[in-house]
Structure 1
Amino acid sequence: MTTLSLAAVLAEPARRTPDKIALIQDGQRFSYADLWRDALACATALRERGATDGDRYALLAPNVADFVRGYFGILAAGGVVVPIPTLLVGGEIAALLQQSGAVALLHHESLAPVAKTASANSGVPALQIGTDTTPTGPLLPGAVPRQAEDTAVVFFTSGTTGRPKGALLTHLNLVLNATTNAIDSLELRRDDVVMGCLPLFHTFGQTVAMNATFRMGATLVLQPRFDAGAAIELMVEQNATHFCGVPTMYLALSEAAAGAERLPRLRTCVSGGAALPVAALERFESLFDATIFEGYGLSETSPTATVNQSFRGPRAGTIGHPLWGIEVEIAHAGLEDRVELLARGEVGEIVIRGHNVFAGYLDDPAATQLAMVDGWFRTGDIGQIDDEGYISIVDRKKDLIIRGGFNVYPREVEEVLATHPQVGQVAVVGLPDPVRGEEICAVVVPLPGVPAPDPDQLIAWASQRLGKHKYPRRVEVVELLPLGPSHKVLKRALRDQLIAAPLAG
């Protein structure tokens, strides 16, 4: 067995460059030595409280230094981290605590009220980071050894397609994904500064922003709550070289750019979490004079599986090529019991295998068996690979709209509508229809500073640019789209809302 701990991502730069600034948050600067010492203090306190190897600890904290202390403290104690989204209420957190089998909930002081409620509802003790994680004896000499295939983090899926499932990510999964992201995606150097707006409880922010930055000994700037205007000022102030975000963040940054005195000089921008419309990508790149490298991944793949990479050259509208050591192919989407790979150019389900693929779902062998077939992880996403190996996402398998017997992929419709001069954001869903089975509905957010689009005129405009079976017959204009904790549009919630009653514009 091979000994490996994700805690090394912080421990190694603390050993090599102890005085290097690892983290900047609200004007405070923390060296690698500072953070690792704090993490060891947390780990020591947990072991003093009876922590044993493999114990699961839930972690509830915003994008602040205490998240880092708690995260690496749990890992250094030999435990397993269960990140909890900070937007959940007490009852929801209690359910995750019970489902995960967590022995305690570590929380930031600002979240003490909801943590206490969750603790009371679940019977799981709540420990405030710092106050309740201060050791009484000498610090551990280092991280408790773990095996490479041991679980390091349990990521609960967002639950937008049903009850959340706990994806088991190993130390090997997460160390290698942080490493390949740092080298092949971000191309990080030790003197780089990464802007951390993504929530650290989410796999994207955790691996691609935090762990990749620490893996290369660079500096991470945290913004506790994303604000586009403030993020621009912070990136300028700290000379940020990298930005990682989801599409809604890039849209907000483009809107905020008009009011900014200066814009940061970013070397690399990475987008993931959802499809970034080409129109939005091009607008950001023109405003910021920076290139966005769009990638793709899931909680079950640590998360990154593919990304546009500089040595290949980015191609808008694609998710690039697989990261080092990862295989991505297209399989027949209609076969559930086996994986039958398709030829280049054919449309099918994206399947993945490699060092990034999870160890299964927590206490759910049936779900694991459905997801892992013939050694491949079935993503549930529909895509294709061209002759040059560029991979494109067509849509979510579960988001597919079948209108009158014709397959309609919402993303294709969204890409077209996003080019309309009055549309800022758009989400397309299928609604039940007694005649055609499903009807296409587009929910749009107007572009700031211009009049809201007229729904009938937008339908007519779309009908000239999309096939007769593809253009929306219903358009709703709203101020905001429902977003999950990771800033992803919640299409299931949007669909349910539309079925229940028309949205108010």
Structure 2
Amino acid sequence: MPNVTERFRDNVALRPDAIALRSPDHTMSYRDLDCRSAAFAAALRQLGVAAGDRVVLVAPTVPEFAIAFLGTQLIGAITVPVNTMATAPEIGHILDDSGAMVAIAWHATRESAEQAVEQRGRTLVILEADAFAGIHGERIEPADRLIDDTAVLLYTSGTTGKPKGVELTVANLVETARIFIEQLRMGPDERMGTGLPLFHVFGLAVGLVTALHSGASFSLLTPFEPRAMIEMIRDHRLTMVSGVPTMWNAMLHTAIDIGPADFTHLRLAASGGASLPAQVIQAFSERFGCTILEGYGLTESSGAATYNPLGREQRVGSVGSALPGTSIEIRDLRGELVPQGVAGELYVRGPSVMKGYWNSDDATASELVDGWLKTGDLACCDADGYVYIVGRAKDLIIRGGYNVYPREVEEVLYQHPDIVEVAVIGLPDERYGEEVGAAVVTAPGSTLNAVSLRAWAKQRLSAYKVPHLFAFVDELPKGPTGKILTSGFAGLRFVTAVPESERTA
């Protein structure tokens, strides 16, 4: 029976002393990572966690995340990664919806998890730095799973504003790793690295799982800082690095005396999460001597759908072609195929596509049609199979690689007693691609301003969801039916509520 840890365990047997994980200050071998994750698995079992149970994991991009992830997978539990910026109400919703009785929280970001767990009488495990070092307990054999068993539950906001749990199976993770290992011609001597969050599908499935299945080493940086990332690429002699557009742009504009001569070992950089401007790709290549290859995926497809393969022409503005075993179609609003070159909604089918949404048959039936995933993104395809993302069918805001759904933010802002009406939109931003903006109508006599509203919202939303730009107006533009027309916001004057130096990703 399969288990997400099996390929990792194969590499432990083949190369136990090879480096599995690197952080700026430490290294961890495959043998050590195996021992620590087994000890963590044993600790979970003592808490009563069994196969199929959900375990919430709130941790940044640190080696201990991998220990906890592998530990839960070893015993067949379902890992539920959560953003470290999530508030107590957000974590509480995930605990309630998933039915998780145990939560794991990184010691430095434990406050919100502690509040959510305490309110519900659940069990909290604090994940300390250098967890389970030197512990060599009983070896735990990977639990038998079915290929369609859920391995990971990743919560993503929906158009209704309520986060939904995306069920990624054992097969989803194993096949995604296999495809990228073959596609990127990865070997056990590969040195991968990232500053991506591991609680995100890109960092987890395409990054961590793929690295450990290939036998490569995986360098982790948290928090992402462009100078530190450049230095890690140089000092760890990384051969592969992954990130989102804002990361490449930040590195490109960092004043540091490092160039192509320092990056001779770096053979490719993988970008996803949002469209990457062609000028950034060109400038990055000129400065560092490395080509950024774009791909496309979403949480519901394990972060994998299309990619620019090695040895094939990379076309400006394209996210590449379908990955092996994956099919794509462009359809109109009726679900019928459109002619070549015509834009429509992108549909994806393949081994990386999710099982469905947790406890939500209606949402699953809506987004999965005969095995085809409706991505909600608008795209077109050329004669050679290259895909071009041209827009979004949904009102999704992508801020620095993070997905923000306006409806979710609006529902929180409507809880403010001074707000009569509010609409949240994405506004162009040089640093993050898009910034979260809110057009607000307040009650008569209200003294609410941008600074106080942002401070109020910060207590209820993850940092990346909090609006930074505000427009206070007497009324919002509406259509004949009373629907707010965001297309009429072009003339509004949005003001910032936070200095540039205090902006966070």
TM-score tier (shorter): 0.7 to 0.9
- Any conservation in 2 of the 1:232–1:260 contact (CA below 8 Å)? no
Aligned position for 2:44:
46
**How far apart, CA to CA, are the structure 2 residues paired with 1:322 and 1:393?**
13
**How far apart, CA to CA, are the structure 2 residues paired with 1:488 and 1:326?**
35
Q: 1:161 to 1:13 in 2, by over 3 A?
A: farther
The 5 A counterparts of 1:300-315 are 300-315=300-315
**Pairwise CA distance, 1:140:** 4.1
The 5 A counterparts of 1:287-302 are 287-302=287-302
Which of 391, 397, 421 aligns to 2:393? It is 397
Aligned position for 1:476:
none
Which of 224, 227, 235 aligns to 2:225? It is 227
- Residue ranges of structure 2 left out of the alignment (5+ in a row): 399-403, 407-422, 433-456, 473-488, 500-505
What percent identity do the matched residue pairs reach?
33
**How far apart, CA to CA, are the structure 2 residues paired with 1:232 and 1:391?**
30
- Any conservation in 1 of the 2:314–2:320 contact (CA below 8 Å)? yes
6-15 or 146-155: bigger deviation: 6-15
Aligned position for 1:459:
none
Deviations 1:220-271 (A, max 9, x none): 0110210000111111111011110001001101011x32345433211111
- Any conservation in 2 of the 1:182–1:208 contact (CA below 8 Å)? no
**How far apart, CA to CA, are the structure 1 residues paired with 2:431 and 2:142?**
51
- Any conservation in 2 of the 1:40–1:143 contact (CA below 8 Å)? no
The 5 A counterparts of 1:352-501 are 352-399=348-395, 443-445=428-430
Aligned position for 2:148:
149
Q: 1:390 to 1:443 in 2, by over 3 A?
A: closer
Q: 1:281 to 1:494 in 2, by over 3 A?
A: farther
Aligned position for 2:279:
279
**How far apart, CA to CA, are the structure 2 residues paired with 1:253 and 1:324?**
31
Q: SS at the partner of 1:304? A: coil
Q: 1:494 to 1:344 in 2, by over 3 A?
A: farther
- Any conservation in 2 of the 1:10–1:72 contact (CA below 8 Å)? no
- Any conservation in 2 of the 1:285–1:292 contact (CA below 8 Å)? yes
Aligned position for 1:237:
235
Deviations 1:113-170 (A, max 9, x none): 3321221123321112369997999524311111111000001114587221110000
- Any conservation in 2 of the 1:95–1:122 contact (CA below 8 Å)? no
**How far apart, CA to CA, are the structure 1 residues paired with 2:39 and 2:471?**
47
**Pairwise CA distance, 1:330:** 0.7
Question: 1:260 and 2:257 equivalent?
Answer: yes
The 5 A counterparts of 1:48-197 are 48-129=46-127, 138-158=137-157, 162-184=161-183, 186-197=184-195
**How far apart, CA to CA, are the structure 1 residues paired with 2:24 and 2:288?**
24
**How far apart, CA to CA, are the structure 1 residues paired with 2:426 and 2:91?**
33
- Any conservation in 2 of the 1:91–1:121 contact (CA below 8 Å)? no
Q: 1:103 to 1:63 in 2, by over 3 A?
A: same
Q: TM-score, normalised on structure 1? A: 0.78
Aligned position for 2:211:
213
The letter for the 2-side match of 1:162 is G
Q: TM-score, normalised on structure 2? A: 0.78
**How far apart, CA to CA, are the structure 2 residues paired with 1:55 and 1:245?**
31
- Residue ranges of structure 1 left out of the alignment (5+ in a row): 401-409, 412-426, 430-437, 448-481
**How far apart, CA to CA, are the structure 2 residues paired with 1:77 and 1:441?**
42
RMSD: 3.2
**Pairwise CA distance, 1:316:** 1.8
- Any conservation in 2 of the 1:167–1:361 contact (CA below 8 Å)? yes
Deviations 1:462-500 (A, max 9, x none): xxxxxxxxxxxxxxxxxxxx99xxx9986x957876879
**Pairwise CA distance, 1:446:** 7.7
- Any conservation in 2 of the 1:9–1:211 contact (CA below 8 Å)? no
Q: 1:138 to 1:245 in 2, by over 3 A?
A: closer
Question: 1:18 and 2:3 equivalent?
Answer: no
Aligned position for 1:502:
494
